[in-house]
């Protein structure tokens, strides 16, 4: 797998294993690559490595941070001295500890995160600020089993100093140990991973945080990649609701995207109509059950209203946070590319 992906956080719905399929049908090997749903950043990072000028967009703050830290950043890296900033006592309201301890974080880590987020926000250099926030995202997800926030038993036991269950296996112990260790032990390792993904592709890459329809109104490029939330699947706003709240410093409504609900057909039709000025489209979509979501032939018909296209059913195992494949016979992953 592309080694620079290690700079990104584990991400639900990530496309690290699919980039070879996504880029194969693209006609132009240079020019402007548009990523309309940045998400965890893997497709944009791969496009950057291939030499495209990358223009990425996502409404989520978590994705904006990833994009600003890794995709738009061609040279600035983290130093150990930057990590020390996260431990400098900084005024904060204790939002994380008040709301997410002990179910999500132990008190030790909640105290650190409250201070670290506040300290990172005060960094004047924009790129360093985004790098530190990106590092904090990676740190948070590195502490959670499968990068998710739903499992609470391990954290509750750790907070109560009951270690037998949280350290029960080689797969669970490393993440749980981060909940009780000095955070610097993890941050130093993650710093090196982040820095590995920073390179200059000699392009002025752009990151936007807009409603996708507003973004498409003005963006110009050679190819656009669409990876909208999959209809009928878990919504990012739900999966990452706690992370979004931490980054915002308050509780958000975390309302699922229209792409995730029963109105998805209408939004997909509108999405394609908004992109008619872009020469080529590549679209990822999938179903987790045969009777839920948008079938490949249906999406192909939507696209063919505007231009010729073909569909490819991918041999792909879905995974938790893109961390490890597991067979799920009902899952369908497919790709549509215009000709």
Do residue 22 and residue 47 come from a single domain? yes
Same domain, 143 and 24: no
Q: Could you tell me the two tokens for 20?
A: 């070879």
The whole-number pLDDT of residue 261 equals 62
Co-location of 19 and 67 in the same domain: yes
Asked whether residue 213 is domain-assigned, the answer is yes
Q: What gap in Å lies between CA 152 and CA 81, rounded to an integer?
A: 33
Q: Give the angle subtended at the CA of 171 by the CAs of 168 and 174, to the nearest 5°.
A: 85
Judge if 57 and 206 occupy the same domain: yes
pLDDT at site 321: 43
CA dihedral 13, 294, 210, 204 (to 10 degrees): 60
Residue 270 belongs to some domain of the structure: yes
Can you list the positions of beta strands (E) in 230-279? Answer: none
pLDDT tens digit sequence for 58-91: 999 999 999 999 999 999 999 999 999 999 999 9
Residue 121: inside a domain: yes
The predicted pLDDT at position 332 comes to 87
pLDDT of residue 238: 86
In a domain, residue 298? The reply is yes
CATH code of the domain covering residue 215: 3.40.50.150
Same domain, 191 and 260: no
CB proximity list for 98: less than 8 A, separation 6 or greater:
none
Instruction: Provide the mean pLDDT of the chain.
Output: 93
41 domain-assigned: yes
114 and 54 both lie in a single domain: no
Between 41 and 328, name the one with better pLDDT: 41
pLDDT surpassing 90 at residue 290 = no
Mean pLDDT of 93-116: 98
SS3 letters across 193-242: HHHHCCCCCCCCCEEECCCHHHHHHHCCCCEEEECCCCCCCCCHHHHCHH
In this structure, what token pair is assigned to residue 232? 């009928």
pLDDT band at 120 (very low <50, low <70, confident <90, very high): very high
Tell me which residue range forms the domain holding 28: 3-73+200-235+253-338
Q: What is the mean pLDDT of residues 239-262?
A: 85
pLDDT-derived band at 231, boundaries 50, 70, 90: confident
Exposed e or buried b per residue across 284-308, where buried means at least 16 C-beta atoms within 10 angstroms of its C-beta: bbbbbeeeebbebeebbebbeeeee
| Chain Cα centroid distance, residue 87 | 26
* Same domain, yes or no: 139 and 285: no
For residue range 10-37, list pLDDT tens digits in order.
998 899 999 999 999 999 999 999 999 9
Note whether 61 and 110 are same-domain residues: no
> What pLDDT score was predicted for residue 319?
52
The residue that leads in pLDDT, 330 or 32, is 32
* Phi-psi map region of 73: left, alpha, beta (phi>0 left; psi -120 to 50 alpha): beta
* 271 falls within a domain: yes
Domains in the chain, number:
2
- Say if residue 35 is in the same domain as residue 93: no
243 is a domain residue: no
pTM metric for this prediction: 0.93
Same domain? For 127 and 52 the reply is: no
Half-sphere exposure of 191 (CA within 13 A, CB side): 18
Q: Do 215 and 26 meet the contact criterion of CB atoms below 8 Å apart?
A: no
Q: What pLDDT, on a 0 to 100 scale, did the predictor assign at position 325?
A: 42
Integer Cα distance of 238 and 138 in angstroms: 18
Indicate if 108 and 167 belong to the same structural domain.
yes
Q: Measuring CA to CA, which residue among 18, 320, 14 is closest to residue 175?
A: 320
Quote the tokens at residue 186. Answer: 């993890």
Give 320's pLDDT tier (boundaries 50, 70, 90).
very low
**CB burial of residue 161 (10 Å; 0-12, 13-18, 19+):** exposed
What phi and psi, each to the nearest 5 degrees, are found at residue 266?
-60, -40
Residue 241 lies in a domain: no
CA angle at 72 for the pair 68 and 74, rounded to the nearest 5°: 120
Contacts of 60 (CB under 8 A, 6+ apart): 209, 236, 240, 244
Pair 85, 49 in one domain: no
């Amino acid at each position: 797998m592309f080694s620079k992906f290690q700079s990104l956080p584990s991400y639900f719905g990530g496309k690290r294993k699919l980039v070879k399929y996504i880029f194969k049908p693209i006609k132009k090997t240079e020019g402007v690559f548009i990523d309309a749903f940045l998400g965890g950043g893997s497709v944009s990072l791969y496009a950057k490595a291939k030499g495209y000028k990358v223009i990425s967009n996502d409404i989520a703050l978590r994705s904006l941070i990833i994009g600003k830290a890794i995709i738009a950043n061609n040279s600035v890296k983290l130093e150990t001295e930057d990590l020390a900033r996260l431990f400098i006592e900084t005024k904060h309201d204790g939002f994380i500890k008040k709301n997410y301890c002990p179910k999500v974080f132990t008190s030790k880590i909640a105290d650190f995160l409250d201070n670290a987020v506040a300290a990172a926000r005060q960094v004047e250099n924009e790129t360093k600020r985004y790098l530190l926030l990106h590092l904090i995202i990676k740190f948070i997800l590195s502490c959670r089993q499968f990068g998710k926030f739903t499992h609470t038993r391990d954290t509750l036991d750790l907070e109560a100093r009951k270690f037998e269950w949280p350290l029960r296996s080689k797969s669970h112990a490393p993440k749980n140990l981060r909940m009780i260790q000095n955070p610097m032990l993890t941050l130093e390792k993650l710093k090196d991973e982040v820095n590995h993904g920073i390179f200059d592709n000699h392009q002025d890459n752009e990151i936007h945080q807009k409603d996708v329809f507003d973004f498409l109104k003005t963006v110009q490029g050679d190819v656009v990649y669409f990876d909208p939330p999959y209809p009928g699947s878990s919504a990012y706003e739900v999966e990452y609701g706690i992370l979004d709240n931490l980054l915002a410093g308050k509780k958000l409504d975390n309302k699922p995207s229209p792409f995730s609900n029963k109105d998805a057909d209408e939004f997909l039709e509108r999405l394609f109509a908004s992109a008619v000025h872009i020469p080529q489209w590549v679209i990822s979509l999938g179903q987790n059950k045969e009777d839920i979501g948008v079938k490949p032939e249906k999406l192909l018909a939507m696209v063919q209203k505007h231009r010729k296209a073909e569909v490819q059913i991918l041999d792909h195992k879905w995974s938790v946070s893109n961390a490890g494949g597991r067979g799920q016979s009902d899952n369908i992953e497919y790709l549509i590319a215009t000709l």
